[in-house]
Amino acid sequence: MTRTFDPRDFGAIGDGLTLATAALQAALDACAAAGGGRVEVEDGTYLTGTLFLRSRVELHISASARLLASPDIADYPEDVHHNRYRNEPELDRCLLLARDVEHVTLSGPGEINGNGPAFPQRDTGQRAMMLRTLRASHVRVRDIQLLDAAGWTTAFLDSRWIWVEGVRIHNESNFNGDGLNFDGCEHVFVRGCHIVGTDDNICLQSSSKDFPTQNIHISDCELSSVCAGIRIGLKSIGTISDVTISGITMNRVLREGVKMECTEGGTITRIAISDVVMHDVRRPVWMLLNNRFEPDDLGSSKELDHMPPIGELSHVRIAGLTAVDSEDMDREQWRFDHDIQGTPEFAGIRVDAARSRPIRHLTLRDITYVPWGGVQEPSRPFDDYPVVVDALEQSTEGKSSNYYPTWSRTTFLDIRNVEQLRLEAIVLEAQNPDARPPYAIEGCTVLNQDITVLSPASATG
C-alpha cells in the first residue's frame, strides 16, 4: 500500500495567501525519509516558493487543489543551477527542482500555476521557470495542468528515462513561454499533450558533448505557439539523434512549425517526422546548418565560448505533412505589441546551408502545402537573397542566419546545398496568385524530384 502524506498535517493552509513552502517541503522530505510514497495536495490553493522534489516520491495535485507560485522572487533560492542561454539569466531560478534524484512523479489532474502575470516582462527582472530536472532519472509528469509559468514551463537537463503524458501546458503571460525543453536527455517519451505558449512548444537541445539528446519519442500532441511548434537545435554543441515525431497537429503557429538549427558545431542526425497536420503555420519547415557564436545576442549557449566549426545535419525524413493556411495569414502577426513574428512574405518551407558544408540525406515525402500566398510585390529581388557562409572564413554580416532574412524569395519551397535530396509526392497550391517563383532547388544533389504546382485556388474558383 502506497504511503501518503498530507501537507496540511505539516501546517499547510490552502487559502492562496499563506506561504506554504515549508509545510510542502516537510511533507516531501518526510515521504522520502519513510522510503517513498505520495504527497497528496488537496482542497485549496497553496502558495509556494521553490520545492525540491525527492527520490521515490510522487507529488500529486488533486482536482480540488492548485499550487500557486509565490509572487515574491525572494521565495526562490539561487542555488538551483541556471538557464543555459546566455541572454536569459533572468530565468535562472525555478519553482520545482528535481536534482540528482530518481523515480520522481508529478501528477494531476490538478493545477500548478506559475503566477506569470505577477512577473511582468522586464529586461532584468528575475522570473522563475516552473520545473527543472538536473541529472535525474525515471521522471514522470502525467495528467496535470501546468499553467502561466513566469518563464519556461519545463527544462529537463542531463536527465534520462522521462515520461510526459497527458499534460496540458498553457503559457502565454510572458516572453520565453516555452513548453517542454529537453537538453542532454535520453530515453524520452512525450505523448498526448496539449501545449500553448509564446515560445517553442517542444524543444530538443544539446549544450554538452558529454550528454547527448537521443532516443526521443514524441507523439499525439496538439501544439499552438506565437513562435515555434517543435524546435530541434539552436543549442547544438553536442549530439541530437534518434528522434521520432508523429501524429502532431499544429494550429496557429506564427513562425516555424518544425525548426531544425545545427548552429554550434554539433550533430543533428537520424530524425523521422511523420503524420503532421498544420493549420495557419507561417513556415511549416525551417532547417539550417551553419555556425554561430553571439555572446551578447539571442540564442548562444553559456557553455559555448568560441566560434565553432560547422557541424552536421543529416539523415532527416519528413513524410505525411499537410499544411493549409486561412485568411489570417494575410497579415502581419506580433508577439505582444512590439515583436513581429511573421508576414505573408515570410511563409514557405526553407532549407539552407553553406555550400562548403551541405546538409546530407534529406527526404521530403507526401507533402501538401497550401499557403495563403498573395505576395504581389516582393520586397527584394530573387537574386538578393543572402547565402549561408562559414563564419570562421567569412563575415556573416548581411548573410543568411538563424534570424535573417525575414522574407522568402519563393512562394512554397526553397532548398539550397543538400546532398542526397529526395522530393517525393510534393503538392503545392497557393490560395491566391503570388508573384514569386514557386520553388527553388540550388546546389543540391537531387535523387528524386516529384513536385506538382497547382494553379491558385482563387484563380480557378
SS3 state of residue 9: helix
Total count of residues recorded for the chain: 461
What is the residue type of 110?
G
SS3 state of residue 236: strand
Pairing of strands 339-342, 333-335: antiparallel
> Any residues with CB less than 8 A from the CB of 393 and at least 6 apart, and which?
356
Burial of residue 427 (CB within 10 Å: 0-12, 13-18, 19+) is middle
User: What does 239-277 look like in DSSP terms, one character per residue?
Assistant: EEEEEEEEEEEEEEEEEEEEEEEE-SS-EEEEEEEEEEE
Identify the CA nearest to 232 among candidates 318, 164, 159, 169. Answer: 318
pLDDT at 122: 59
Round to whole Å and give the CA distance between 355 and 298. 25
**Which grid coordinates are listed for 447?**
535523387
> Any residues with CB less than 8 A from the CB of 1 and at least 6 apart, and which?
none
Q: What is the pTM of this model?
A: 0.96
Round to whole Å and give the CA distance between 409 and 429. 16
pLDDT at 128: 95
Round to whole Å and give the CA distance between 313 and 310. 10
Identify the CA nearest to 328 among candidates 282, 369, 283. Answer: 282
pLDDT at 216: 98
Query: What's the half-sphere exposure (Cβ side, CA atoms, 13 Å) at 248?
Result: 30
**Which grid coordinates are listed for 375?**
505576395
CA angle 157, 360, 449 (to 5 degrees): 125
**Which grid coordinates are listed for 407?**
522574407
Dihedral, CA atoms, 52, 107, 44, 148, nearest 10 degrees? 80
User: What does 282-347 look like in DSSP terms, one character per residue?
Assistant: EEEEEEEE-----TTSTT-BTT--SPPPP-EEEEEEEEEEEEE--GGGGS-EEETTTEEEE-GGG-
CA angle 69, 73, 76 (to 5 degrees): 75
Round to whole Å and give the CA distance between 449 and 437. 17
Digitized pLDDT (tens) for each residue of the chain, 461 residues in all? 789 999 999 999 999 999 999 999 999 999 999 999 999 999 999 999 999 999 999 999 999 999 999 999 999 999 999 999 988 888 999 999 999 999 999 999 999 999 999 997 655 689 999 999 999 999 999 999 999 999 999 999 999 999 999 999 999 988 889 999 999 999 999 999 999 999 999 999 999 999 999 999 999 999 999 999 999 999 999 999 999 999 999 999 999 999 999 999 999 999 999 999 999 999 999 999 999 998 877 678 889 999 999 999 999 999 999 999 999 999 887 776 666 777 889 999 999 999 999 999 999 999 999 999 999 999 899 999 999 999 999 999 999 999 899 899 999 999 999 999 999 999 999 999 999 999 999 999 999 999 999 998 655 54
Round to whole Å and give the CA distance between 403 and 352. 13
Identify the CA nearest to 144 among candidates 165, 123, 125. Answer: 165
Asked whether 425 and 451 are in contact (CB, 8 A), the reply is: no
**Which grid coordinates are listed for 53?**
522534489
Q: Which of left, alpha, beta for 225 (phi over 0: left; psi -120 to 50: alpha)?
A: beta
Give me the domains of the chain, ranges plus CATH numbers: 86-460 (2.160.20.10)
Query: What's the half-sphere exposure (Cβ side, CA atoms, 13 Å) at 203?
Result: 30
Residue 139: count other Cβ atoms within 10 Å of its Cβ.
24
Place of cell 537574386: 383
Using CA atoms, how far residue 64 sits from 13, 14, 46, 172, 359, in Å, is 14, 11, 11, 24, 51
Asked whether 235 and 208 are in contact (CB, 8 A), the reply is: no
Asked whether 128 and 155 are in contact (CB, 8 A), the reply is: no
Query: What's the half-sphere exposure (Cβ side, CA atoms, 13 Å) at 53?
Result: 33
